[in-house]
């Protein structure tokens, strides 16, 4: 899920969040994460930060602790099967043997490239 969906699922009111840059550079996000601001949902020290873009409010920081992050995992931009295929192809191009493990089948299948 994206940041906006995560905030909604966690019951976070965008109005309660700190203003953020529209498109923060990685260094800005990293610097914020190093400060470990409180989780936007539960108040525990955060482990990840991102920006939500709400229609009513300006961009806002969404900080999540480990548990809240795991409860709202990000969506992959491409299907896991396609990402695995891409990794296999890249490894083959440079002559490497890739052994990939996924939880797609409960961590039971070993995928070899």
Q: Please give the structure tokens belonging to residue 111.
A: 């995928």
How does pLDDT run across 22-62, given as a tens digit for each residue? 999 999 999 999 999 999 999 999 999 999 998 888 999 99
Residue 88: which pLDDT band, with cuts at 50, 70 and 90? confident
Residues 53 and 10 in one domain: yes
pLDDT of residue 104: 56
Residues 30 and 66 in one domain: yes
Per the structure, the count of domains in the chain is 2
With b for 16 or more beta-carbon neighbours within 10 A and e for fewer, the 25-51 pattern comes to eeeebeebeeeeeebbbeeeebbbbbb
Question: Does 105 score more than 70 pLDDT?
Answer: no
Residue 109: which pLDDT band, with cuts at 50, 70 and 90? very low
pLDDT of residue 110: 46
Regarding beta strands 110-112 and 99-101, do their DSSP bridges make them parallel or antiparallel, or are they unpaired? antiparallel
Query: 57 is in which domain, residue-wise?
Result: 3-71
């Amino acid at each position: 899920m994206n940041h906006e969906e995560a905030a909604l699922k966690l019951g976070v009111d965008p109005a309660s969040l700190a203003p953020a840059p529209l498109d923060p550079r990685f260094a800005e996000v990293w610097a914020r994460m190093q400060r470990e601001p409180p989780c936007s949902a539960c108040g525990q020290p955060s482990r990840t930060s991102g920006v939500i873009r709400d229609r009513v409010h300006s961009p806002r920081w969404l900080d999540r602790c480990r548990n809240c992050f795991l409860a709202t995992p990000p969506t992959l931009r491409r299907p896991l099967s396609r990402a695995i295929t891409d990794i296999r192809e890249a490894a083959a191009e440079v002559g490497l043997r890739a052994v990939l493990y996924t939880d797609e089948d409960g961590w039971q299948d070993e995928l070899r490239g």
